C-alpha cells in the first residue's frame, strides 16, 4: 500500500480522511480499542505537526490531556508503539522528550477493513489517494525453484498465519514478494525465511522487513526477530 501524506493541495481533506478511518476502526472495536484510538486522535488533533510528522509531548502533558495518570500513559503509548501506529523518531535524553511520528501505513492497513462503514465513496477515494501517492517500483512476482508457491509446499508452524495476515493486508504485494518466501528451521524467538534469490532477499530486508516483523509479532508474540536469506 502506498501511503498518501497529508500535505500539499489536498492536505486538509487527507487529514480528515485519516481521522475518519481511525474513527470508523475505533467504533467497530471493543471499548478498550475505542479508548486507545480516541486518545491517539486527541494527540493528533492537539499537538501533532503534520508537515514534519512529529509529535513532541511529555508524559505529564499527555496525562493531563487524557485525564489519566502517567502509568496509564506509559502503558497506552507502549501499546501504540507495539501496534506500529506511532514510531520513535528520536529518543528522548537529558530532560528532552522523545520525538514521535505516525505509522501512517500501518494505521491505514489496520483500519482498511472498516472503511466501508463510512461508505463506498470513502473507500474508493482512499484507494485513489493511495495510487496518487506514487506507484511502487517495478514488482516482478517470483516462483519457488520447484515451480510451486510456498502455500502449496504445505509448511507448518506460524508462517502460514503470518502469510494470511500479509495476504489480507495487500494481496498484490503479497503475491509479488511474500508468497515466494518459505520458512526454514530457526532458533527460539527467530523466524528464518528463505527467498528464491539474493535480490529478492535484499529487497524484502530493505523495504518490507518492518511489515514482516509486525505480522510475525501479531501472529506469535514470542517472535523477536525475522531473518530473510537467499536460498
Taking only the tens place, the pLDDT of each residue in 159-211 is 999 999 899 888 888 998 899 999 987 677 889 999 999 899 998 998 888 88
pTM of the model: 0.69
With a CB cutoff of 8 Å and minimum separation 6, the contacts of 211 are 105, 166, 169
pLDDT at 141 over 60: no
Give all domains of the chain, ordered by start, each with its CATH number.
Answer: 11-127 (1.10.10.10), 136-230 (3.30.300.180)
Measured distance CA(176)–CA(1) in Å, rounded: 13
Measured distance CA(31)–CA(100) in Å, rounded: 25
Amino acid at each position: 500500500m502506498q501511503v498518501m501524506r497529508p500535505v500539499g493541495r489536498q492536505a486538509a481533506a487527507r487529514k480528515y480522511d485519516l481521522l475518519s478511518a481511525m474513527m470508523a476502526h475505533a467504533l467497530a472495536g471493543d471499548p478498550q480499542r475505542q479508548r486507545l484510538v480516541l486518545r491517539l486522535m486527541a494527540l493528533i488533533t492537539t499537538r501533532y505537526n503534520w508537515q514534519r510528522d512529529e509529535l513532541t509531548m511529555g508524559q505529564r502533558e499527555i496525562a493531563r490531556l487524557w485525564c489519566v495518570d502517567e502509568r496509564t500513559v506509559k502503558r497506552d503509548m507502549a501499546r501504540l508503539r507495539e501496534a506500529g501506529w506511532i514510531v520513535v523518531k528520536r529518543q528522548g535524553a537529558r530532560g528532552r522528550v522523545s520525538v514521535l511520528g505516525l505509522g501512517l501505513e500501518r494505521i491505514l492497513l489496520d483500519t482498511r477493513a472498516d472503511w466501508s462503514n463510512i461508505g463506498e465513496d470513502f473507500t474508493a477515494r482512499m484507494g485513489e489517494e493511495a495510487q496518487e501517492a506514487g506507484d511502487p517500483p517495478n514488482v516482478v512476482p517470483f516462483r519457488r525453484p520447484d515451480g510451486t508457491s510456498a502455500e502449496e509446499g504445505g509448511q507448518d508452524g506460524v508462517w502460514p498465519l503470518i502469510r494470511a495476515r500479509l495476504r489480507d493486508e495487500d494481496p498484490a504485494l503479497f503475491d509479488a514478494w511474500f508468497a515466494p518466501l518459505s520458512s526454514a528451521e530457526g532458533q527460539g524467538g527467530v523466524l528464518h525465511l528463505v527467498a528464491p534469490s539474493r535480490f529478492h532477499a535484499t529487497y524484502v530486508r530493505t523495504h518490507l522487513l518492518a511489515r514482516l516483523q509486525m505480522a510475525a509479532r501479531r501472529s506469535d508474540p514470542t517472535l523477536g526477530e525475522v531473518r530473510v536469506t537467499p536460498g
